[in-house]
Amino acid sequence: MAGTPLNLGVYPDARDFRIQQQKIYVVSGNQYLSNEGQDLVLRLNPIPDASHTRNRKTSPPDSECFPGTREEVVQDITTWADAMDSAPGTEEGVMGTTPAAVVVYTPTPHIYWLHGFAGSGKSAISLKIANVFEGSGRLLASYFFFRNAGDRGTLNRFATTLSSQLASALPATVPLLEAALKTDSGLLNNHVSLNRQMERLVYEPFMAVMQGDILEEARAKGPFIVVIDGLDECEDKRGVEELIDHMLDFFERYPTIPLRVFIASRVEQHIRARLEVDGVRFSDLDNYKTQDDIHKFLRASFHAVAKRDRVIRAYVRAHGQWPTQSDMYDLMEHIGKSFVLASLIFKVIVHPDPEDDPSTPMERLPRTLQMNSLDSMYTQTLTRSQHLPHFRNIISTIALLREPLSIVEISDLLDVEVFEVVRVLLNLQAIIHVPGTDEEGRVTLCHTSLRDFLTTESRSGSFFVLPSFHLHLSYHLVSSLFKTPRDNGPIHDYSMWYLKDHWREAAAFAESSASTLTNEIEKFKAPHSLRANRLPYRGFLCDMFFFSLLYNPSTSDGFTHFLTECAKQLALVAESPDDRIGPWLETVMNFYVLGGPSLRTFQFAEPTCKTVQHHLRRASAAIYAKFPEILGRRNDVFTVEHKSFALNANSISAIDILSVRRRLLGPQITRAAEYFFNRYWSG
């Protein structure tokens, strides 16, 4: 990448001047100026808790290799990453060159895929690999996927997060990234493909700086490394397939690039089908001596806790070594090759709540051997709190949240006391990370397998979290919209981001089961009859029926029901004397703005038309009287003609659902409704 050398001779008579907040980058002899005032990192907007440097207590997975363990697999990975082969046509061990100056030729696969079952310790190994190569100056970037952790569970900010770390690892790429963003202003747009972002923001800048001193460093130290952990945790399976396909294509086009990608994941079909190919080295973690490492971990952990626990010390003085060799043998037979089960069993034995379980560690150890799996451990631990008030709602909320919340935020969301949330969680600290303060830190699962357990009925039994609980979460989130952001900031923000997702999950469950969305809503309404006159409840029903309209009702009867109920609930909300409807209207109206077109037509009888007409006129009059600015000071928004009418607009919101206009479409005995809506809701 050529450039003009910096030449201050352009200003030969300049005196006593300073250049402030400038940084000079030298790339293969060419000099570039970059203005630090233009903060590249802010523009890229990376995910701060996606890398190996994150706070693992608040951003799981919280796992690391115990000292002295995993040495064999780590050695295999570092040997692969260190491999430096000669280029075609050169003497053995001598570096070759190419026109692009990317000169490391390597028949060694560029990609290493480490796979294993849930709880086998993959994330701990990924962390170890990232730390090893960070220490040697070769770590280019790391990304740890985690399901239900906001954007960390998607590919939305994957490329920009890697790009931000690239800029830090190789500062010479900064001006190239700035230039890419300047010449391709749409790169940060959500509609740009991930492949294009990876090319422009990661691969191309990296290749461009592989010259001069940087290339010499790569020759001396070895290729740079990208660590990607938990690829199976990414919710966008199609996106993962495209990412892998593009990565394989890139390395096929540039076989000499000094770059390695380490991937760790469970064996999922969409990943296996792409990575079990030539050009990828793959390794099964189950093939390594995992049990030796688990034995080392348990023996050292029990030894350490014995130094701190007076009861254990007294027992050892009276009875000798604990755990005994026989105990350790039984534990190892019971645990198998699961590091997460080993860690959980250790916590259950030595760190229970003394008020809940006054027994000694020596008494608890044989009891743990009666539990035959990780699922049994989860069941036993959850049993400690299942008798407490709000247990099911709290656990279901933690399992289904799209992004973790603090204790106070969970309390606000569910409208329960903070101490009641704490009371439930304290008994579950072996499987759930409970932050040290109620206001700060997030409540997170120790391992993804707990969410899998809770959302799989055949495994969790009575602890199964019903998918229909998404409806209950939706109700609580809508309720938060009746509060000002100042009173309910984090929950208000969460609602704006994820309310749609919870609705879609509830609707998808209804569509995939023997039930219907209408039936699920009716089931929800039954136990909430005492709330029938509460404003948030009616607002929720209005929102839910509106969403149902957009969810492609499969029959005209379904459309008629949703339209009628939505109009009815909108009128009841609008006529409420409660001033809180203002924030709800403004927030929800902006939230629902949609674009088209996608035309659907339904027909229904004249009585339905009159009913909808009546409710919409009530809503229109009430909203216009109290909040004319929300309707743009239009008093004809909800007028419905005597003849057929259409919901027909380039932009539809929850208010002008029903911005209805005159249109004759057919016989007078029928009424047709046409509306445009964006695939945003279904795609």
Domain boundaries, the chain: 38-284, 290-370, 508-681
Residue 434, pLDDT above cutoff 70:
yes
User: Using only C-alpha atoms, what is the Rg of the chain?
Assistant: 30
For the segment 55-80, the average pLDDT, to the nearest whole number, is 92
Least-confidence region, from 40-44, 244-248, 584-588: 584-588
- CATH 3.40.50 correct for 38-284: yes
More confident residue, 499 or 300: 300
The DSSP-derived string for 473-538 is HHHHHHHHTTS-TTTSHHHHHHHHHHHHHHHHHHHHHHHHSSS-HHHHHHHHHGGGGGGTT-HHHH
pLDDT digits (tens, 9 = 90+) for 204-218: 999 999 888 888 888
pLDDT digits (tens, 9 = 90+) for 596-643: 334 445 556 777 778 887 887 888 788 778 777 665 544 433 333 333
Residues 6+ apart with CB under 8 A from 422: 407, 434, 438
Three-class secondary structure of residue 451 per DSSP: helix
Residues 6+ apart with CB under 8 A from 213: none
Q: Residue 566 pairs with which residues in a beta bridge?
A: none
pLDDT band at 3 (very low <50, low <70, confident <90, very high): very low
On the 0-12 / 13-18 / 19+ scale of CB atoms within 10 A, 107 is exposed
For the segment 57-81, the average pLDDT, to the nearest whole number, is 92
Considering only CA atoms, which of 414, 558, 517, 551 is closest in space to residue 474? Answer: 414
Write the secondary structure of 168-192 as one string of H (helix), E (strand) and C (coil).
HHCHHHHHHHHHHHHHCHHHHCCCC
pLDDT digits (tens, 9 = 90+) for 469-497: 998 898 888 888 777 656 667 788 888 88
pTM: 0.68
User: Which amino acid appears at position 229 of this protein?
Assistant: D
- Token pair of 269 as six digits: 């079909």
Residue 525, pLDDT above cutoff 80:
no
Q: Determine how β-strand 22-27 pairs with β-strand 30-35.
A: antiparallel
Neighbours of 586 (CB within 10 A): 14
Residues 6+ apart with CB under 8 A from 69: 293, 294, 296, 297
The H or E element that residue 402 is part of is none
Would you say 106 and 118 are in contact if contact means Cβ atoms under 8 Å apart?
no
Residue 271, pLDDT above cutoff 70:
yes
Neighbours of 91 (CB within 10 A): 7
pLDDT digits (tens, 9 = 90+) for 95-141: 444 333 333 444 789 999 999 888 889 999 999 999 999 999 999 99
Residue 26, pLDDT above cutoff 70:
no
pLDDT band at 678 (very low <50, low <70, confident <90, very high): very low
Mean pLDDT of the chain, nearest integer: 77
User: Which amino acid appears at position 269 of this protein?
Assistant: Q
Question: Looking at residue 596, what is its pLDDT?
Answer: 36
